[in-house]
Amino acid sequence: MLARYGASVLLLLPNQQTLTASVRRRLEHITCGDQVEFETDTKDGEVVTSIATRKNVLQRADFRNKTKTLASNIDQIVIVTAIKPVPDWQLVDQLIVAGIDMGVEVLLLAHKSDLENSEDLHQTHDYYKKIGHKSLITSLHDPASLESLDNQLTGKTNILVGQSGMGKSTLANYLIEHSEIKIGALSESSGHGQHTTSVAQCYPLGEDAYLIDSPGVRDFTATALSANQVSAGFLEIHEAAARCKFNDCRHQQEPACAVREQFEQGLISQQRMDSFARLLKQQSSL
Ligand SMILES: Nc1nc2c(ncn2[C@@H]2O[C@H](COP(=O)(O)OP(=O)(O)OP(=O)(O)O)[C@@H](O)[C@H]2O)c(=O)[nH]1
Ligand SMILES: [Mg+2]
């Protein structure tokens, strides 16, 4: 029989039922989102026997530069931001780059819009929208916004990603009826999230739709990407770069650089220029 691998030993069946199973030892690299085949063994119960070829994997490099796989077979990366904890836009850009490189859809959320000063957050989202990204303003206190979000997730395997404490599990909890996902309170003193979610977990979300809740990340280093792959993930920079005089322009001091021209005209933000430069540097040192 076929199923999706949820987490630990939970299988999600096409009829949206779940099943616990063990995994054949030689399949130790099974990951959240995998399409698996399983059979019923009279002694061991349900046993996963094979993993289908993955359409894609979301991977990151850990602090030792070892590749860690977060999830597989993703259609859409949903990047959750809020005004609290303070958003790390470089992390957002890294996740966008990873999503574009994987060829999946990217959706940005300006979540907790009920919080004070969320206008600042919305302004940054307006910039991302202007350059061509999908962005939604959501709040737990605004059911219509969550319905709009739900509509964006239909028929896809979605993964919620972002910093700890942004509200990923809260959103997942709302979206998945009867879910028992653990939700943590923001620690009062630091305002940082508590990394409540410790492993990625996949949940059924209606017909042929899934939602993967992932643990919060502090930084996200994609596995080795070329300068071109990084550039392709910055839509506005990539678009302008096509008009630079030099093919290998790094948009620093080179003459006739279309990217710097756009920056000087205020069409590309300082934040994105800095983020782009830092990411290029980071990738070249991997
Ligand atoms: N004001 C407000 N608070 C929210 C909203 N959504 C979530 N929160 C709160 O944000 C805090 C963190 O929520 P979580 O869902 O645990 O965050 P997370 O992103 O899953 O965190 P990790 O699992 O650590 O990655 C909780 O106290 C939630 O109640 C919202 O729309 N508005
Ligand atoms: Mg969580």
In order of their start, the domains of the chain are 2-51 (no CATH), 57-213 (3.40.50.300), 227-284 (1.10.40.50)
Instruction: Print pLDDT tens along the chain (286 aa).
Output: 788 876 666 778 777 777 788 787 777 688 899 999 998 888 778 888 899 999 999 988 776 777 888 899 999 999 999 999 999 999 999 999 999 999 999 999 999 999 999 999 999 999 999 999 999 999 999 999 999 999 999 999 999 999 999 999 999 989 986 444 555 555 444 455 555 677 888 888 887 889 999 988 877 776 678 888 999 999 999 999 999 999 889 898 899 999 999 999 999 999 999 999 998 888 776 5
Ligand nearest to the CA of 173: 1
Decide whether any atom of ligand 1 lies within 6 Å of the 167 Cβ.
Answer: yes
Decide whether any atom of ligand 1 lies within 6 Å of the 168 Cβ.
Answer: yes
Distance between CA atoms of residues 172 and 80, nearest Å: 11
CA of 226 to the centre of ligand 2 (A): 31
Q: Output the CA torsion sign for 239, 240, 242, 248.
A: negative
CA of 82 to the centre of ligand 1 (A): 9
pLDDT at 149: 95
Q: Is 8 exposed, middle or buried (0-12, 13-18, 19+ CB in 10 A)?
A: exposed
In sequence order, the β-bridge partners of residue 45 are 41
End-to-end CA distance of the chain: 41
Ligand nearest to the CA of 118: 1
Take atom 14 of ligand 1 and give the residue whose Cα is closest: 167
Q: 251: number of CA atoms within 13 Å, CB side?
A: 30
Contact 13, 46 (CB under 8 A): no
The helix (run of H) or strand (run of E) holding residue 99 is helix 89-102
Pocket perturbation via mutation, ligand 1, pick of 183, 192, 213 by most ligand atoms within 8 A of CB: 183
